[in-house]
Structure 1
């Protein structure tokens, strides 16, 4: 069994780890430990967690996680590519004429170069964790008894060449589309539950960039 720390953007991502990724990856001998990004520390007051405002905050939390214990086999991220701070490594010179996956891999590569720790495995979701819910359209439709919703989510994903192609403009990002189609959708609960019903293997098949990340974690476990 290896232990991997996961820096999560917010509660939705933490729930994805606890309810979906964690149980699935235990079968591969991987124990995922989620931590929500610390966004603000008030003097004498409570800390705030969730959301991404500056790269410096992400970097600080990553370095703190890596330093917190020598027993981490790896530290990874579960952050949305959509809305990532413009000051993040690699964002300024992204190859915008290239497909989204190549753009996000460019940013991940520069994140790794900035942190410079062999245990760091950067991962940015194309384009949000709600992308995974598009892959789990049928499961969500059954849960909410909204079968027309499932069909429309599948149509939109197919139109973009797959769930990870659903883009990152403010009016067309996966989360915006979901809430427009289904105002009662609860992202912190419904999304993780639908994706858990879909299962790891099916999500890996639907989302190649996600599949690559999981493959890196599984390979790390097999090497121990």
Structure 2
């Protein structure tokens, strides 16, 4: 069994790791340890957690984890590409023109890896945010919320964009904004992780190729994909 640390953007991502990714990857001999990005310190001395405001905060947490856990096989990130700080490595010189969305996010991941410069750092950015995975689990979400029409509409929108990971990243059309418009009672902390867990690892890997590539890299740490 090897250990991999996962730096999560917030509670939603941590719930996904603990309830979905952790048991799935344990079958491959990988033990995930999740922590939420530290963002600020409250007046009373308690640490604020969740959200991303500046690259320097992400970098500080990453370097702390890498330096304090030499026995871990790797440290990875679970951050949304949508809303990533503009001062993050690679954001300013992303390929334009005919570059695909996946090519842009992979460019940023490479620049992050180069900037940190540590052999055990494996960056991952969700294309475009964690709710993308919920679009992949449209049928399961519809069953959970007893709303077949919601499932059909989520699938229609994902297909129109070319797949769940292609659902775009503007303030009006990001996956999370679409979900709340279609179902105002949607709970990102509960409904999303539950639906994705019902879909399962193989279903999500099949629907989300950028996610699949990340999982392959993690499994390869323990001799296989």
TM-score by length of 2: 0.98
SS at match of 2:76: strand
What secondary structure sits across from 2:222 in the alignment? helix
Equivalent residue for 1:106?
107
Counterpart in 2 of 1:127?
A: 128
Q: CA deviation at 1:34?
A: 0.4
- Measure, in 1, the Cα distance between the counterparts of 2:69 and 2:211: 26
Give the aligned partner of residue 137 of structure 1.
Answer: 138
Corresponding residue for residue 72 of structure 1: 72
CA distance in 2, matches of 1:34, 1:28: 17
Q: Counterpart of 1:222?
A: 223
Gaps of 5+ in 2: none
1:203 corresponds to 2:201: no
Gaps of 5+ in 1: none
- Of 156-165 and 41-50, deviating more is 41-50
Residues 1:93 and 2:69 are matched in the alignment = no
Number of residue-to-residue matches in the alignment:
223
Q: Which aligned pairs between 1:1-224 and structure 2 lie closer than 5 A?
A: 1-42=1-42, 44-97=44-97, 98-222=99-223
Helix, strand or coil at the partner of 1:216 = helix
- Per-residue deviation, 1:44: 4.4
Please state whether the residue corresponding to 1:53 is helix, strand or coil: coil
Superposition deviation, residue 221 in structure 1:
1.1
Deviations, residues 123-179 of structure 1 (Å, cap 9, x unaligned): 000000000000000000000001100000000000010000000000000000000
Deviations 1:59-93 (A, max 9, x none): 00000110112111000000000000000000001
> 1:42: how far off?
3.5
Moved over 3 A (4+): none
For the aligned residue pairs, the C-alpha RMSD in angstroms reads 0.9
| TM-score, normalised with respect to structure 1 | 0.98
SS at match of 1:221: coil
Is the partner of 1:192 in helix, strand or coil? helix
